[in-house]
Amino acid sequence: MKKIIVSILLIFFIVGCGLKQTIKDTAQDLTNNTVALIDDAIDEITHESESWQATLQELSDNLTDEAQSTIRNEVQNLATRTIAAAGSEIRCNVDFLGARVVQALQRIKAELLNKPIPQRNPAICQVIPTAIDMNLTPNRRNKVDISGYDFDNQPLKLYLITNDNQRTDVTHAINRLSHYHLVLNLGSNGVLLNETSSRLVLEYKDSQMSSIAITQPVTPDCKEEEISFSPDIITYMPTHTRGDRDYGGHGPAITARVNIYVDNNTIKAKIYMRARETKSDWSTADGSGVFTIYTAPSKRRILTIVSDKETSTNYIDSGHAEDFFEKGSGELVKRFAFVGDTDGDEAGTRTRVKVTFNRVVVKLKEIGNCKE
């Protein structure tokens, strides 16, 4: 009966007055014994941090008296809490866990002796990712996982820092999944990051716990490259400008010139031809035409034409057949093909030049998301 009454009184004190009142009313010899057991556990873990789990279990087993049941429950809760914190979600090392267990036992001891309880400060073991890469798409950088210890009921603050050191309180983005796991929400309803964002800072009582860098995309230098292309064959017919339309076997004297140039991110070819009769009435076809032979691709700008830019030729036609002039590989024009005199009228209707080009080489520069 006496044992039952003692148990009822202990329950009353635990529920009604709390742990401190229970400890205060515990017999002095029982207190001394409990403190000694805790001190032994602290000493063992301090010297062998990896033994914290076995030492806690041994301490719990040694707290056998009914009056020690509350302390035993705290020790068991401490073991459970620490095992959870050492799980696969985080990677706190053994020394760290041992130190945290010692601190927790010291708090239990302080309560037992009715002394000031050491402050329980949160600690960080791991941050994933260690930096926020703004090169990634938003759905691939929408959270930060922080693992550690004693995150529950702590006045944590989160700030977004800009490149010019402006601070914005974004504590609303902290989500506590457990006492050892925080998630920082970087989604549309969390911390909104932009090109001015520099870092996230997690603070506890105005002291920095962690600084997570926000890496902005590096603007690369605009690349330059040389490309070559083969323009299409172009046929040009000059207009009739003088005399009748029939050269009548008098030449004509033919002059032709082709040059290319850059115009508004395109390359254009200007083809000039004159075919003039060699005697009165000087029947003439004369003129020039401009043709687009290349347009730069998107996000590229034409810097210059690297290859040959002009080719010319002249001769006197002496028959009705088409005349060919090979200019070789080093020139702009590979081949001229002329029609001068024909059987009948031809100035403005048949007289023409057909131009076949060699490959044209141009230098391009990247534009857009790059540094000039």
| End position of a domain, from candidates 58, 82, 112 | 112
Residue-level pLDDT at 362: 98
Residue-level pLDDT at 370: 86
Mean pLDDT of 283-293: 98
Judgement on whether residues 321 and 211 belong to the same structural domain of the protein: no
Residue 371 lies in a domain: no
- Taking 80 as the threshold, does the pLDDT of residue 124 lie above it? yes
The model's confidence at residue 66, banded by pLDDT at 50, 70 and 90, is: low
- Taking 50 as the threshold, does the pLDDT of residue 5 lie above it? no
The model's confidence at residue 2, banded by pLDDT at 50, 70 and 90, is: very low
Judgement on whether residues 349 and 229 belong to the same structural domain of the protein: yes
Residue 118 lies in a domain: no
Residue-level pLDDT at 52: 72
Judgement on whether residues 361 and 232 belong to the same structural domain of the protein: yes
Q: What is the pLDDT of residues 300-319, one digit of tens each?
A: 999 999 999 999 999 999 99
What six digits make up the tokens of 329? Answer: 């590989």
Residue-level pLDDT at 20: 46
The model's confidence at residue 290, banded by pLDDT at 50, 70 and 90, is: very high
Residue-level pLDDT at 209: 93
Mean pLDDT of 101-107: 78
Judgement on whether residues 228 and 362 belong to the same structural domain of the protein: yes
Report pTM. 0.53
Judgement on whether residues 246 and 310 belong to the same structural domain of the protein: yes
Q: Which residue has the higher pLDDT, 116 or 336?
A: 336
Angle subtended at Cα 323 by Cα 318 and Cα 325, rounded to the nearest 5 degrees: 120
Boundaries of domain holding 314: 224-366
Mean pLDDT of 222-244: 97
Residue 372 lies in a domain: no
> What are 147's strand-pairing partners?
126, 181
Inter-CA distances, 13 with 32, 68, 69, 81, 325, Å: 20, 13, 13, 25, 115
d(C-alpha 364, C-alpha 235), whole Å: 28
Judgement on whether residues 106 and 132 belong to the same structural domain of the protein: no
Judgement on whether residues 229 and 357 belong to the same structural domain of the protein: yes
The model's confidence at residue 13, banded by pLDDT at 50, 70 and 90, is: very low
Q: What is the CATH number of the domain that holds 183?
A: 2.60.40
Residue 117 DSSP one-character state = P
Inter-CA distances, 118 with 95, 107, 187, Å: 20, 6, 37
Residue-level pLDDT at 331: 96
The model's confidence at residue 25, banded by pLDDT at 50, 70 and 90, is: low
Residue-level pLDDT at 125: 83
Contact criterion met (CB below 8 Å) for 101 and 45: yes
Angle subtended at Cα 337 by Cα 332 and Cα 340, rounded to the nearest 5 degrees: 130
What six digits make up the tokens of 90? Answer: 């985080």
Percent of the chain at pLDDT > 70 equals 85
| End position of a domain, from candidates 92, 112, 132 | 112
Judgement on whether residues 73 and 136 belong to the same structural domain of the protein: no
- Taking 50 as the threshold, does the pLDDT of residue 297 lie above it? yes
Residues 6+ apart with CB under 8 A from 277: 243, 247, 248, 250, 251, 252, 283, 284
Judgement on whether residues 231 and 362 belong to the same structural domain of the protein: yes
Judgement on whether residues 237 and 346 belong to the same structural domain of the protein: yes
Judgement on whether residues 357 and 338 belong to the same structural domain of the protein: yes
Q: What is the mean pLDDT of the chain?
A: 85
- Taking 60 as the threshold, does the pLDDT of residue 334 lie above it? yes
| End position of a domain, from candidates 190, 215, 240 | 215
d(C-alpha 208, C-alpha 159), whole Å: 10
Question: 3-state DSSP call for residue 176?
Answer: strand
Q: What is the pLDDT of residues 179-192, one digit of tens each?
A: 889 999 999 999 99
**Most confident of the following: 12-21, 45-54, 63-72:** 45-54
d(C-alpha 142, C-alpha 280), whole Å: 85
Nearest to 176 by CA among 138, 131, 146, 213: 146
- Taking 60 as the threshold, does the pLDDT of residue 122 lie above it? yes
Residue-level pLDDT at 4: 35
Number of domains in the chain: 3
Residue 117 lies in a domain: no
Residue 326 lies in a domain: yes
Q: What is the pLDDT of residues 31-56, one digit of tens each?
A: 778 788 888 878 887 777 677 778 87
Residue 182 lies in a domain: yes
Q: What is the pLDDT of residues 189-212, one digit of tens each?
A: 999 999 999 999 999 999 999 999
Judgement on whether residues 16 and 94 belong to the same structural domain of the protein: yes
Residue-level pLDDT at 361: 98
